[in-house]
A = this chain, B = another copy of it.
Amino acid sequence: MPSSSPDVEALKQQFSDFLKRKQYRNTQERYKVLDRIAELDRHFSADELYVYMNTKGDSVSRATIYSTLDLLTKCSILMKHRFQGDSAHFELSSRMPDHDHLICVECGRIVEFRAEEIDGIRDTVAKNLGFKPLTHSLQIFAVCPDPVTCEHNGRD
């Protein structure tokens, strides 16, 4: 297995523990969804995952995908993002721990970055307010340096 891939077995174990603890059932579909997410190893929407799985020959319905994505988010295996667009985006929490996103407001380009200082701020803020910190999502809105797509002054 490629060294850069997520540790699928560890994720399955974590998922299995969660399902047992919450008394959900171990179904083939749920583990298959996790498998394919690990293969993708990038941001994806529910529908992109649905299309990907059908391309790969899995027959898993949208209902099951949405349901499983919800479970995987609840047990912190997945991180759910709401970028500007319509649909939610997900990615493995283990993929790039605590990274954040910079979004160009002109062209929609998304750049990932890591700023370690955020982790400390997150923990300090949460504790000061009496909360137990879990995770965070920082989105920086900026203008892209590409003159062709971003330095125009049009109506859109």
Chain A interface residues toward B at CB < 8 A? 21-24, 80, 82-84, 102, 104-105, 111, 113, 115, 117-118, 121-122, 125-126, 129-145, 153, 155
Q: Given A113-B125, A117-B121, A139-B136, verify A130-B155 contact (CB < 8 Å).
A: no
Instruction: State how many copies of this chain the complex holds.
Output: 2
B143→A122 contact, CB < 8 A: no
Distance to closest chain B CB from A14 (angstroms): 17
8 A–B pairs (Cβ distance < 8 Å), ordered by A: A82-B83, A113-B129, A117-B121, A118-B121, A125-B140, A126-B140, A136-B138, A137-B138
Q: Which residues of B contact A83 (CB under 8 A)?
A: 82
Q: Which residues of B contact A105 (CB under 8 A)?
A: 134
Please classify the interface of chain A as helix (H, G, I), strand (E, B), loop, or mixed, using the class held by over half of its residues.
mixed
**In the complex, which of the residues A83, A142, A143 has the most CB atoms of chain B within 10 Å of its own CB atom?**
A142
